[in-house]
């Protein structure tokens, strides 16, 4: 790593983190560790086809659920924080969002069942394990409940309980799997239920003892959640698909028993390379309400300064992730998952680089959303996903290399497009902010 990159990392250590980062970060640390515990035990308990099928469920859940429900969480957090800053109760906003979430969940369940009935969805993603479809439906309901709860907590500045949700979900997911593994249970349905049910229980635990979350106030209009909520849904879903594109590609493009077994091995390495994204989530959870408050108050200079600090942190996380993936990644994989782990330094380095570019794009996307640039964020994510598909289709005949290059190119294209569109948005909001922000980026380019 170059001296310039090291200076950026040192600078990132000195800047203050957004409000709530430490509380949420603790929850994310527990959540991340327990997620890897879940993966390790499932990998050891199930045979490779079943493990691949279980991760088909995992990926489908974490593409669709955050893709549709994270926008509701973000908009609830933004709207409640805005009302709280103006001394207005946020209860009506939360109730309206809960109604929208219920309708959306029902629609997603219907669409999923139709796809399962008339398309090869179950066979391709779940390797014919039809019982995992039940787990997916349960997960949709559980995550709808959790994301509304998380938005309510973050908007009210309750980041301690927000962190509790993350930690509790991880622990509630891991503990049953530990019991299953010790008992020698290898029925995939129980592992699927251990993935699907905990989000709802974790939300209930975090809400214990919380008061005044639904303070009364003026009736909320749909526009208060966002006139661009559909664009935000599409942008979030596209972003989640890009985030998991390497693993999705490996699962969907694998041909025959040998490549399907290799796809299971690839998933293990993919999760190791995603560690930078897990670290960034602690910052993301507190980022949107902070930037929205600054933008809403017209404090463009503070908005620019906050964004610059966050970009420094993101660059530091990404740089460390790439170096770790390309050096000690295979060693870590062997230690955690045993001899079944087969990815080398190049594979993990490419996946870690793609993850670093993804969190950079996600940071810039959050800034665009805070400035109500939902359509621009969707355009950038769409450019990234389209680039990923094209590069994956034409770059190589090797299964692993083609999805790695597609992931890297797609995330890079999304980050570049997001930066250009954000500059344009800042120009319309505040020319002074644009000049200072561009200067900050130009004077500290990242070299790895």
Say whether pLDDT at 7 is over 60. no
Q: Find out whether 203 and 165 touch, Cβ atoms under 8 Å.
A: yes
Question: 340 falls in which pLDDT band (50, 70, 90)?
Answer: low
Query: Which band of pLDDT confidence, cut at 50, 70 and 90, is reported for residue 15?
Result: very low
Angle 232-290-16 from CA coordinates, rounded to 5°: 130
- Residue of 5 and 334 predicted with greater confidence: 334
Whether residue 406 contacts residue 388, with contact meaning beta carbons closer than 8 Å, is answered with: yes
Q: Tell if the pTM clears 0.85, that is, is over it.
A: no
- pLDDT tier at 242 (50, 70, 90 boundaries)? very high
**pLDDT tens digits along 265-318:** 788 888 888 877 766 665 655 555 566 566 656 666 776 777 777 777 777 777
Task: Evaluate whether 102 touches 144 at the Cβ level (below 8 Å).
Answer: yes
Calculate the alpha carbon distances from 392 to 143, 260, 381, 427 in Å: 31, 17, 16, 35
d(Cα 374, Cα 115) in Å, to the nearest integer? 28
State in Å, rounded, how far the first CA of the chain is from the last one.
Answer: 5
Quick one: pLDDT at residue 77?
85
| 386-406 pLDDT, tens digit each | 999 999 999 888 888 999 999
pLDDT band at 21 (very low <50, low <70, confident <90, very high): low
- pLDDT for 32 equals 81
Greater model confidence, 253 or 417: 417
Q: How large is the average pLDDT for residues 7-33?
A: 61
CB 286 within 8 A of CB 366: no
pLDDT band at 11 (very low <50, low <70, confident <90, very high): very low
| Per-range mean pLDDT, top range of 13-17, 137-141, 261-265 | 137-141
Average pLDDT of span 248-272: 82
Q: What is the mean pLDDT of residues 333-339?
A: 72
Q: Please state which of the ranges 33-42, 306-315, 327-336, 421-430 shows the lowest mean pLDDT.
A: 421-430
CB 34, CB 173: distance < 8 Å: yes
φ, ψ of residue 340 to 5 degrees: the values are: -70, -15
Interval 62-74 mean pLDDT? 88
The band of 370, judged by pLDDT with boundaries at 50, 70 and 90, is low
Residues 293 and 251 sit within 8 Å (Cβ to Cβ): no
- CB hemisphere CA count around 397 (13 angstroms): 0
pLDDT > 90? residue 140:
yes
pLDDT tens digits for range 31-54 = 888 988 999 999 888 888 888 889
Measured in degrees and rounded to the nearest 5, phi and psi for residue 205 equal: -65, -45
Instruction: Give the angle subtended at the CA of 180 by the CAs of 179 and 184, to the nearest 5°.
Output: 115
CA 429 to chain centre: 28
Q: What percent of the chain has pLDDT over 70?
A: 82
């Amino acid at each position: 790593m170059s001296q310039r990159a090291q200076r950026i990392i040192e600078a990132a250590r000195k800047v203050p983190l957004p409000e709530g980062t430490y509380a949420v970060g603790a929850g994310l640390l527990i959540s991340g560790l327990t997620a890897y515990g879940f993966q390790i035990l499932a990998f050891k308990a199930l045979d490779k086809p079943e493990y691949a099928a279980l991760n088909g469920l995992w990926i489908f859940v974490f593409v669709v659920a955050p893709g549709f429900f994270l926008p509701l969480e973000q908009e609830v957090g933004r709207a409640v924080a805005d009302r709280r800053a103006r001394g207005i109760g946020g209860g009506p906003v939360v109730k309206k969002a809960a109604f929208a979430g219920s309708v959306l969940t029902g629609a997603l369940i219907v669409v999923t069942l139709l796809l399962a009935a008339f398309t090869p969805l179950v066979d391709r993603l779940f390797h014919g394990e039809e019982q995992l479809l039940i787990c997916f439906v349960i997960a949709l309901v559980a995550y709808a409940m959790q994301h509304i709860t998380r938005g309510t907590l973050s908007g009210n500045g309750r980041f301690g309980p927000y962190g509790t949700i993350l930690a509790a979900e991880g622990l509630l997911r891991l503990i049953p799997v530990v019991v299953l593994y010790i008992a020698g249970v290898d029925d995939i349905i129980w592992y699927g239920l251990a993935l699907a049910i905990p989000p709802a229980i974790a939300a209930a635990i975090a809400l214990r003892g919380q008061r005044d979350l639904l303070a009364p106030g003026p009736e909320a209009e749909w526009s208060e959640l966002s006139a661009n909520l559909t664009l935000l849904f599409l942008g979030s879903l596209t972003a989640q698909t890009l985030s998991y594109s390497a693993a999705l590609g490996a699962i969907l493009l694998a041909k025959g028993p040998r490549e399907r077994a290799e796809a299971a091995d690839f998933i293990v390495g993919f999760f190791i390379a995603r560690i930078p994204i897990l670290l960034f989530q602690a910052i993301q959870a507190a980022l949107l309400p902070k930037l929205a408050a600054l933008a809403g108050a017209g404090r463009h200079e503070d908005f620019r300064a906050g964004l610059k600090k966050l970009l420094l942190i993101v660059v530091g996380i990404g740089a460390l992730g790439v170096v770790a993936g390309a050096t000690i990644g295979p060693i870590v994989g062997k230690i955690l998952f045993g001899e079944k782990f087969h990815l080398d330094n190049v594979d993990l380095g490419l996946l870690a680089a793609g993850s670093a570019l993804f969190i950079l794009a996600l940071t810039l996307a959050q800034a665009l959303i805070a400035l109500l640039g939902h359509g621009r964020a969707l355009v950038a994510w769409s450019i990234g996903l389209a680039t990923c598909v094209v590069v994956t289709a034409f770059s190589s005949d090797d299964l692993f290399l083609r999805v790695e290059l597609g992931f890297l190119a797609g995330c890079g294209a999304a980050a570049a497009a997001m930066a250009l569109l954000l500059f344009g948005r800042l120009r319309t909001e505040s020319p002074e902010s644009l000049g200072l922000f561009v200067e900050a980026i130009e004077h500290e380019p990242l070299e790895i």
